[in-house]
Amino acid sequence: MIYLIGYMGSGKSTVASVLSRKLNYEYIEMDQQIEQKEGLSIPEIFQKYGEAYFRKAESELLQSISGDVIVSTGGGIVLSDENRKWLKGNTVVYLDASFETIDERLSGDMSRPLWSGQKNENNKRYEERLPLYQSSASCTVKVDGKEPEEIADEVLSCLNLQISGHNKER
Ligand code: S3P
């Protein structure tokens, strides 16, 4: 299992699909699964039931995933202690995008309830989340200015290094 974490707009879904092709693993897009289960879009879920409800569904889904899969998580997965504990000890790759990159990519985005029209609000949330991504990750790949293929290759080399590191320890 490989979990991709990172802020909204960092490219988790795209990179997950490239990795899935390269590794011949299935990939799971958590937001999409929640939308399917609820029969509602993410903004609709937030609007109808609130964020806490969404977070609960997100944690339940996280704990139900097993097997050889690549998991594209939602940007808020690292918010709860419970989720961070669940991720600990697993292969967790942080796609590290600068705030400038994200701001550029998400300008005008209406599909993310926690991406606001206020730049300072978005920046504050980004800064608050950074340490959570960093401490949850077993690999970090910087994504600014890179194509998905290149990012996926860097994820793979980071993971290979980890595996050879483990072997050396044995
Ligand atoms: C969220 C990120 C979104 C989605 C929801 C909340 C967040 O996923 O789960 O809107 O709190 O960062 P993406 O990271 O795929 O945009």
pLDDT in tens, 77-135: 999 999 999 999 899 999 999 999 999 999 989 899 999 889 999 999 999 999 999 99
* CATH code (residue 130): 3.40.50.300
Please, is 47 exposed, middle or buried when counting C-beta atoms within 10 Å of its C-beta (0-12, 13-18, 19+)?
Answer: exposed
Looking at residue 160, what is its pLDDT? 82
Neighbour count for residue 133 (Cβ, 10 Å):
21
78 lines ligand 1 (CB under 6 A): no
Proportion of the chain above pLDDT 90, given as a percent? 89
83: tokens are: 């989720």
CA distance 25 to 66: 12
Helix axes 42-49 and 30-38, enclosed angle (nearest 10): 60
Q: Into how many domains does the chain fold?
A: 1
Whole-structure pTM value: 0.95
User: Considering the domain boundaries, does residue 170 fall inside one?
Assistant: no
| 96 Cα–ligand 1 center, Å | 15
In a domain, 113, yes or no: yes
Q: Is residue 50 in a domain?
A: yes
CA distance 80 to 84: 6
CA dihedral of 102, 107, 112, 115, whole degrees rounded to 10: 70
pLDDT of the residue at 168: 52
Ligand 1 site, residue 132, Cβ cutoff 6 A = no
In a domain, residue 169? The reply is: no
Is residue 120, in this structure, part of any structural domain at all?
A: yes
* pLDDT given for residue 38 in this prediction: 97
Tell whether ligand 1 has an atom less than 6 A from the beta carbon of residue 96. Answer: no
**Residue 80 counted as domain residue:** yes
| Residue with CA at minimum distance from ligand 1 atom 3 | 74
> Does residue 168 fall inside a structural domain?
no
Closest Cα to atom 12, ligand 1: which residue?
75
Question: Does residue 36 lie in a domain region?
Answer: yes
Domain assignment of residue 52, given as a range:
2-163
